[in-house]
């Protein structure tokens, strides 16, 4: 679901792309930006990073295992972004950044389904 990035890049609110199958482990990201959220993203968000399904699942599992906190894959997106090379290069300590915040939530997770997706994607 890349409508936010495409909208930000284009400078206009866009919906889902025609080839989007809405097939993601991150159920919370299957919606599009709306008229209330778009002006905030347009005017106040500096960057939008994209991550893969596998990166989302790996980040979700990392939080489950290391923090012993059950998060949903939509929350794993922020973790996956922070672990990614593009984010770390742009927002490194060397570039003046030393703190980030990631909102972790877990209200929308089917643990069995997510575990199956992890297994299907070779994430042990």
Domain ranges of the chain: 3-44, 53-120
Helix (H, G, I), strand (E, B) or coil at 35: coil
Number of H helices, E strands in the chain: 6, 0
The CA distance from 68 to 12, in Å, is 40
The CA distance from 95 to 53, in Å, is 28
Q: At what angle do helices 111-120 and 53-67 cross, to 10 degrees?
A: 120
What is the tens place of the pLDDT at every residue in 14-33? 988 777 767 888 888 888 89
What is the tens place of the pLDDT at every residue in 61-104? 999 999 999 999 999 999 999 999 999 988 888 887 778 899 99
Residue 98 φ/ψ, nearest 5 degrees: -135, 0
pLDDT, greater one: 13 or 94: 13
- Going through 1-124 in order, the beta strands assigned E by DSSP cover none
State the pLDDT at residue 1. Answer: 67
Q: What would the two tokens of residue 63 be?
A: 């939080």
């Amino acid at each position: 679901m890349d409508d936010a990035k495409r909208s930000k890049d284009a400078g206009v609110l866009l919906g889902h792309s025609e080839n989007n199958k809405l097939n993601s482990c991150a159920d919370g990201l299957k919606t599009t930006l709306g008229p209330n959220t778009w002006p905030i993203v347009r005017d106040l968000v500096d960057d939008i990073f994209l991550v893969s399904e596998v990166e989302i699942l790996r980040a979700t599992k990392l939080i489950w295992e290391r923090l012993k906190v059950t998060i949903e894959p939509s929350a794993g997106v922020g973790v996956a972004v922070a672990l990614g090379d593009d984010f770390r290069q742009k927002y490194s300590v060397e570039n003046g950044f030393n703190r980030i915040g990631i909102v972790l939530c877990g209200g929308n997770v089917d643990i069995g389904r997510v575990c199956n997706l992890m297994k299907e994607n070779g994430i042990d």
